[in-house]
Structure formats: structure tokens, C-alpha cells
Amino acid sequence: MKFRFAAIAALALFAANVAHADRLDDIKRAGVLRVAAFDSNPPFGFIDPQSKKIEGLDVDYGKAFAAKLGVKLEIIPTNPANRIPLLTANKVDIVLANFTITEERAKQINFSIPYFASGQQFIAKKGVLTSPDQINKLRVGVDKGTTNEIVLREKFPGATLVAYDDTPFAFTALRNGNVQAITQDGPKLIGLLANVPDKDKYEIPPFSVSDDLIGVGIPKGETRLTDFVNTTLRELEASGQAQKIYDTWFGPTTRTPLKRIFKIGDKS
Amino acid sequence: MIDELLAPRYLGWLLHGFFNTVVLAAVVCACATLVGFVLCVLRAVDRGGVSVAVRAYLSVFRNTPLLVQLFFWYFGVSSLFPEGWLEWLNTPHTWRVVALHVMWPPFEYLAGFVGLTLYTSAFIAEELRAGVRAVPAGQVAAGLAQGFTPAQVWRHIVMPQALRIALGPVLGQYMNAIKNSSLTMAIGLAELSYASRQVETETFKTFQAFGVATALYIAMIVLIEWGGQYLRRRVAYPH
């Protein structure tokens, strides 16, 4: 009796070990890659009105990973707050949800190398702003209470900052000529510009003054899975597939054309 | 405890904002009193078109929210300017007036000044009118019967009493002007409330940032209160 109990316990322990042995093997065995993605954050992850499925830049990367592994892709919708709990509770294998790499988060999960950077950029009338050092001479509209304001004050002490309650107000000030440029995260600016009637007059100069690096969230300690993701990302960049994914969502023919200023491998 | 306090750099921001609030409120109060006085007199002496125009002015500026008025002057009016005007308005110009350097303020300050002044002047005009109406009509009739001209009646009989009566309420409008000036942070004017928001964003010391701003506002109001009491004793008629 005692012997049988010990045997079961040993077996259970062994099984647990196998289950936790390696997530990469688990994925291959299950034949499914479970990816957490946003469902309302275009163009990163959103429900496509036609197909009723979650699509977007992040989802395209998920498809590429699944194809490389030769498994099916399962998308699990998430909100920002659930990204880490989904990983730690083993509900998903990886998170692809505009996930900014921070030291705090890196204590709880692994991050891949960055595959996207949403940097702080500017909108100005065409030709006004061509290089970052000009910012020191401009009046720049910022959103009150954002890190954009802090970054700008630190890096460009010569600039005159005018803080508004939100980005549309700042943009109105730019249109009227109260300020010569406004600043926000690039993807936000391009989304704003997409809805402006006289958008031809404005441009987003192709440089950023700070980078939020976006990476793939991976369960803590899954070294082989992390290596697989990193290797695949580098391959996607080398083959031109990463550029193709980018162009699908931010290319010149899209509603939100934003020049690509970050490539995979620029930062590790 | 020391690290609970605000660093000198942030206190500097708050003091700079305080300075802007004081200057803005002082200029607004001075100009609004002048405009308010003129409006009050115009409405009193004229019974025709001018009086109607003044009443229209008063109802427009008293009956719409100040925030909307500020947006109108800052975003609305500036969108009508021909291209280039705002650029000129926003570039720093300095003139030497005698020995003083006069700095041209950015457009936020101009719009904030215009908006606050027009708004405050409408309230001051009505406080002054209330003062005028408090002077018994019999005194005016008596003055005229004594051979005073209407202008002399105003200058020597109505005004001295009306201004004394209106002193308290007008000072109250000055206090309102100080508090209302905080709304100009919505159009990017870097006054005290704007500075406290900024300090809060950078330091996350919410209580300290807004606490210092509150204390400074209270200090301004208390000073006016004291000044008003002193002034009222000085100008009071002997009983």
C-alpha cells in the first residue's frame, strides 16, 4: 500500500516534470500555438469587420511563428492588464499585444528581442521640421501629464512647450499656428492624422526622440521558446517578411502611412 | 521628511506659475475695472442703442461659461487669422520703453488676458451699476435742483457713494478673477494651476504639488481681503 502510494507520487512528480519540461515541445505536441493579442487596438490587434476575426500586425507575427512551427494558431483576446496573468497561469504560450518591454515586467516574464518600436514623434506642417535639433527653436504642443512632455523638456531645453488637455486640442493649436509642432507616440499621431481633412499639409518627420520597444511576452524561464522566437524574428527581418508585415499595416498605401524607422535587431 | 518635500527646482516652477497668475490677474483686474466702469456709465447715461448694445454685451459674457469663451478666443479667433499673423504674434518681440524692456507675450497670454478681461468686466459693470442704483434717486433730483449739472451730480454726489457701496462686491470679483485665471491652463497658459499639474506629473507628489498651489491661491485671496478691509475703513464716512 505504502509502496503503491509512493509510486503514484513519483509518477505524478514525473508527469509534472514532463509538463514543465519545455513549452516549445508542448506546443509542438499539442499542435497549437496559443497567442494572446489585443482585439480593439488597431492596427496591432483588432476584430476585422469583414471576417469577424482578430487581425493586425501582432496577429501577423503570430501567424509567422505558427507557420514556422508547423502548428495551428489560436488567438486569445486580451486587454493590457491581463497580459502577464495569462502567461503566468499557462493560458497562453506567448503574448503579442503591443507589449512594451520594461524592467518591472521582465522580472515576471521573458521578453523576446524587440520587433516594433513606437517612438515619440512629431507632426508639423510640411518642411518645418526635418531634424531633431530644430525642435529647440520651436513651440511644441504636448499632452498634459504624459511622459512625452517630460522627455521633451529633458532632451530639448530650448523648445517652448505648450501643454494641452489632449491630442486633438494640441492638433487644433497646430492647425491654427499656435504651435509649430505637436508630439505623441508615432502610431497615435498617424491615427490622428488619418481623420484630418487637410492632412496633405502635414507630415510626420521620420525620426523619433524616444523609443518604447515592443517585444513578445514569453513565460519566465522558457529559454528554448525564447530562443526560437528571437531566431524566427531575425529570420523574418532577413527574409523581408517583417517589412512586408509592417507595410500591410503602416505602408504608404494604407490609411496610416508611417515610415519604418525601427528594424528587428536594431536593439536587443 | 525632507524627501517628502518638493525639490527646489519644482518649487521654482510653482513660483514662476504663481508670478504669472499674479501678473495676469492684476492686469485683468485693472483693465476689467476700466472697461466695466465705461460700460456702467454708458448704460446709465444712454437710453437708446448704446444701452441695448451694452446689455447685449453683458448678457453674452455673463451667461456663457468662461472656459468656452477662452476656447473661442484661443482656438476660434486664431483660426480666422490670415497665415503668418500668429507666427508674428508668437515670436518674441522686445521694445525698449524708456529703461524698461517690454516683452511681447505669447498668444496664450493674449487670448487668456482678453478672455478673462471681457468676462470680468461684465461682472464688474453690474456690481458698479448696483452701487449707482443704491444711491437714492432723491439725491440726484436734489442735486439738479440745487443747480448742479448732470455731470457734477455724477461726479460729486452719485459716484463717491456708489463706489463705496460697490467696493466689497468689486473686490469679490477680483478674487473671482484670480480663481478664474486657473481656467487658462486649458489654453496652455503656464499659470499656477498649470505649473502644479506639471510638477505633479514629474514628481508624483500629488499632495505637495496641489497643496502648495492651494496655499498660494489662499494667500492671494487673503491679501485682497485684508486690503479691502483696510480700504473700507479708510474711505468710510464718519458716523
CB atoms within 10 A of CB B26: 13
Confidence of residue A15 (pLDDT cuts 50, 70, 90): low
d(CA B45, CA B35): 16
A150 interaction partners in chain B (CB closer than 8 Å):
201-202
Q: How far apart are CA A259 and CA A257, in angstroms?
A: 7
ipTM of this predicted structure: 0.76
pLDDT over 80 at A250, yes or no: yes
> A114 with A101: CB under 8 angstroms?
yes
- Residue B1 has a pLDDT of 41
Contacts of B74 in chain A (CB under 8 A): 178
A231 pLDDT above the threshold of 90: yes
Query: Is residue B219 situated within a structural domain?
Result: no
Q: Could you tell me the CATH number of the domain that includes residue B47?
A: 1.10.3720.10
Question: Cβ contact (<8 Å) for B197 and A175?
Answer: no
pLDDT in tens, B60-95: 999 999 999 999 999 999 888 887 787 777 777 666
- Inter-chain contact B108–A146, Cβ cutoff 8 Å? no
Residue B116 counted as domain residue: yes
In a domain, B175, yes or no: yes
pLDDT at A10 over 70: no
Q: What's the average model confidence in pLDDT over A156-161? A: 93
Q: How many domains does chain B have?
A: 1
Give A126 to chain B, closest Cα distance, Å.
15
**Mean pLDDT, residues A140-157:** 88
B82's enclosing H/E stretch is none
Look at strands A116-125 and A139-143 and give their pairing. Answer: unpaired
Q: In whole numbers, what is the pLDDT of chain A averaged over residues?
A: 89
φ, ψ of residue B36 in degrees (nearest 5): -60, -40
Nearest to B94 by CA among B109, B104, B85: B104
Residue B58 confidence (pLDDT): 96
* Class of residue B10 by CB neighbours under 10 A (exposed 0-12, middle 13-18, buried 19+): buried
For residue A178, list chain B residues with Cβ-Cβ distance below 8 A: 74, 78, 86, 90, 107-108, 188
Q: What percent of chain A has pLDDT over 90?
A: 65
- Tell me if B232 is assigned to some domain: no
Q: What is the pLDDT of residues A85-100, one digit of tens each?
A: 999 999 999 999 989 8
Of A91, A88, A122, A261, the closest CA to residue A192 belongs to A122
Asked whether residue A11 carries a pLDDT value surpassing 60, the answer given is no
Does a structural domain hold residue B8? no
Residue A220 has pLDDT above 70, yes or no: yes
B118 within domain boundaries: yes
Tell whether B143 is covered by a domain: yes
Q: Please say whether the dihedral angle defined by the alpha carbons of residues B51, B53, B54 and B55, taken in this order, is positive or negative.
A: positive
Q: Which pLDDT score is estimated for A5?
A: 60
Query: A87 vs A144, which has greater pLDDT?
Result: A87
Q: Do B194 and A163 touch (CB under 8 A)?
A: yes
Put simply, whether B91 touches A (Cβ < 8 Å) is no
Chain B residue at shortest CA distance from A150: B202
* Full residue range of the structural domain in which residue B183 is found: 27-192
Q: What is the pTM of this model?
A: 0.73
The model's pLDDT over B133-182, given as tens digits with 9 standing for 90+, comes to 999 999 999 999 999 999 999 999 999 999 999 999 999 999 999 999 99
Any domain includes B99: yes
Q: Where are the beta strands (DSSP E) in chain B?
A: 94-97, 100-103
Q: How confident is the model at residue A9, as a pLDDT?
A: 59
Is-contact B21 B191, C-beta < 8 A? yes
B106 interface with A at CB cutoff 8 Å: yes
